[in-house]
């Protein structure tokens, strides 16, 4: 009997470990899916005297890409995001997360700028409201201002073509 309890606990732990290993770490469920995008009013990276709020994008399907110059994975996704933005299928807004503005500007001037505009979230408060776990993360927001998808981790051509593009195309076909 005294061996059955440790054996039972061991079996339960193995089951939980097995379930955990089958989960995709990039599919972190967001409680914000289907809910209004959290509001903020942040300075634009290249024009700090101007601000941006998600409210300004109402009536459009758009992406919010959370990035930082210090982020290695952001550099990895940047070339794909830039190519995708050039298609003009959807406007992409950048949120420079917990990054010095001069570093963000330098990074974009060196690697190219896929964004219609970038905003700076130096303190990370907007990122916190949006449920950002880390960078990069990309959100798809519909015409009504609802978050429809969250991509945790870097985007690549496969994710852009098979996940994000179909969502954007469907949302653009909706009556606005």
More confident residue, 85 or 6: 85
Q: Where are the alpha helices (H) located in 88-140, listed in sequence order?
A: 101-111, 125-129
Range with the poorest average pLDDT among 6-10, 44-48, 91-95, 137-141: 6-10
3-state secondary structure of 147: strand
The CATH label, of 3.40.50.2020, 3.40.30.10, 3.30.720.110, 3.40.50.720, for the domain at 28-173 is 3.40.30.10
Q: What pLDDT digit, counting tens, does each position of 73-85 carry?
A: 999 999 999 999 9
- Between CA 30 and CA 149 the distance in angstroms is 9
- Between CA 113 and CA 130 the distance in angstroms is 23
Which residues make beta-bridge pairs with 141?
62, 147
The model scores a pTM over 0.85: no
Phi, psi of 145 (to 5 degrees): 90, 20
Of the pLDDT bands very low, low, confident and very high (cuts 50, 70, 90), residue 1 is low
Of the pLDDT bands very low, low, confident and very high (cuts 50, 70, 90), residue 133 is confident
Packing angle, helices 101-111 and 72-86, rounded to 10: 50
- Between CA 144 and CA 24 the distance in angstroms is 29
Question: Would you kindly state where each structural domain of the chain is located, as residue ranges?
Answer: 28-173
Q: What pLDDT digit, counting tens, does each position of 19-60 carry?
A: 666 655 555 567 789 999 999 999 999 999 999 999 999 999
Q: Which DSSP letter does residue 99 get?
A: -
Q: What pLDDT score was predicted for residue 103?
A: 98
């Amino acid at each position: 009997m005294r061996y059955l309890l440790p054996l039972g606990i061991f079996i339960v732990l193995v089951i939980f470990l097995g379930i955990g290993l089958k989960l995709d770490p990039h599919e972190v469920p967001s409680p914000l899916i289907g809910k209004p995008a959290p509001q903020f009013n942040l300075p634009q990276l290249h024009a700090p005297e101007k601000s941006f709020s998600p409210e300004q994008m109402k009536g459009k399907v758009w992406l919010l890409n959370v990035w930082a110059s210090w982020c290695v994975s952001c550099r990895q996704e940047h070339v794909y995001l830039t190519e995708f933005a050039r298609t003009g299928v959807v406007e992409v807004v950048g949120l420079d997360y917990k990054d010095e503005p001069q570093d963000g500007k330098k990074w974009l001037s060196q690697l190219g700028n896929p964004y219609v505009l970038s905003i700076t979230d130096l303190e990370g408060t907007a990122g916190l409201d949006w449920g950002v776990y880390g960078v990069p993360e990309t959100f798809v927001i519909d015409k009504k201002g609802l978050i429809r998808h969250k991509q945790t981790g870097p985007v690549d051509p496969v994710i852009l073509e098979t996940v994000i593009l179909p969502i954007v195309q469907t949302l653009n076909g909706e009556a606005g």
